[in-house]
Structure formats: C-alpha cells, structure tokens
Amino acid sequence: MNVALVVAPVFDDVTGYSCDWSNEIVDLLKTSYNVFAIAGREIGRTEVEEALKNGVNLYVHYGHGSEDCHWGSRKVKIVDLKNDVLLGGKEVYCMNCLSASKLGRDAVEKRGCIAYYGYTDVFVFSTDALKEFKQFANAGLKHRLLGYSWKSTVEFVKEFADVIAEKLCSEGKYIAASALKHDASVLVCWEQGSMQKKKSWLDIIKEYLKRIFKRNKSVCCGV
C-alpha cells in the first residue's frame, strides 16, 4: 500500500485552522494510503526528515510556508532548499503560503519530485467563510484521489473557486470571495516534464544577441 505523510503543525491561530482542515484529508487518505500524520503541535525538522525517508509516496503539508520552505514552528524549517532532495520521487500537496514559488520549482526541476501542488503567493482566508476556505484547500487532493491528473485537478479547483466565490458574493461576503479568488489565481501544480524553465538574465541576453546576429546575417546576405 502507498504511504502518505501528513504534516500539520500548530503554533498560532492560522495553523490551528489549517491543522483542523487537514483532519478531513487524513480521514480521506486512509481509504487508499497508509497514513502517517504528525500534527497538532510544533514539529521538528529531524522527525519530518526521518518520516520522509520511510517509503512515503505522498507528502502533505498544511501550515505556514515561505518561498523556500515549510515551517514546523516559528523558528524551524522542516523542509527547505537544503533537504528538498527528500521530495524526490514523491507527490507533494501543500496548503501553505508561497512555497510553490521557489521550493516547489526546485524540488521538481532539480530533485525529481513528481508533482508539487501549492501556492506561489500568500494564502488568504477570512473567518466569516472558514467552511468555504476549507472546501477550497482540500478540493485538490479530493479530486486527485478520484484518479484525475494533477493538471485536471488544478483546472477543477480553479473552476470550483469561481463557484464558491459566486456563492460568497450572493451572501454579501465580498471580502472572502476576493480572497478566495486571489488564492485560486496563485495556485499551481509543477510536474515533471511540464514546467517551463525559468530563464536567467544571461539566457535572455544570449537569445537577444542571437536574434540580432541572425537578422544582421540575413541583411548582409541580402536574404
């Protein structure tokens, strides 16, 4: 049986909510995975590293993230650019801020991570629509567990966000609707082979010079 590791630390209000949302995911995963959950408290780097080494196929993180890491507590980075080699050969599902922007890309581009589902900007939510934000946060994994591809999953969740936003607007919850729409707009799933490589400035200058060189050559040759 496949193994899923769910990591959902608690160390402030936000992580209290995100850990609560992850409980539904743990229950759902139990139908098709051996689930190992580390949740409800501050979590250390070593325990996550050890857990990731134990044949994990799917790694799930609910909590705080930054561009380059997942947080286990206010001070401890449990996964970052130094140990993301541990994400190699795994699928990753995140409900955290920003981590898809750098860590996710790095894990897929350089470390052999199969797929990285997450957000490239802050995840925004409000207390007047907690049920809806939970639905949105969990929708991707629920859809994926039905057997759909990651690409289809992201498309589905973005459309689902529009449906929820419409419902929220009809209830006069414009702020929550706007927040949810923002979250959907920064949702991505990086996958092996489907990533557009980020161009460095050097690459851009090289391409530009090549184009000029080609054009000049054509003019010289009278083509």
Partner 1 sequence: MMHVSDNEIKQLLIEEAKRKPNEKIFFGGVSFTYGDLALVLEGKVDSFSGKQKINCLNTYAKKLIKSFREIHARGIS
Point out which residues bind partner 1 (CB under 8 A).
12-14, 17, 64, 97-98, 122-128, 162, 165-166, 169, 172-175, 177-179, 181-182, 185
- Measured between alpha carbons, how far is 175 from 206 in angstroms, rounded to an integer? 45
At its nearest, how many Å lie between partner 1 and the CB of residue 216? 42
**Which of 39/129 has CB closer to partner 1?**
129
Q: Distance between CA atoms of 28 and 141, rounded to whole angstroms? A: 9
For tokens 């496949």, what's the residue? Answer: 2
The DSSP symbol for 85 reads: G
CA distance 204 to 209: 9
Residue number with CB closer to partner 1 (106 or 183)? 183
Give the span between the Cα atoms of 15 and 63, in whole angstroms: 5
CB closer to partner 1 out of 45 and 158: 158
Q: How far is the CB of 156 from partner 1 (least distance, A)?
A: 17
Distance CA(114)–CA(109), nearest Å, equals 10
Q: How far is the CB of 125 from partner 1 (least distance, A)?
A: 6
Give the nearest distance from C-beta 120 to partner 1 in angstroms: 13
Q: Which is nearer to partner 1, 31 or 127 (CB)?
A: 127
Distance CA(223)–CA(221), nearest Å, equals 5
Residue 208 neighbours by CB distance under 10 Å:
10
Closer CB to partner 1, 99 or 138, in the complex: 99
- We find the least distance from the C-beta atom of residue 195 to partner 1, in angstroms, to be 24
Least distance (Å) between residue 13 CB and partner 1: 7
Closer residue to partner 1 in complex, CB, 52/78:
78
The CA-based angle 69-64-55, given to 5 degrees, is 60
Taking the C-alpha atoms of residue 178 and residue 175, their distance in angstroms, rounded to an integer, is 5
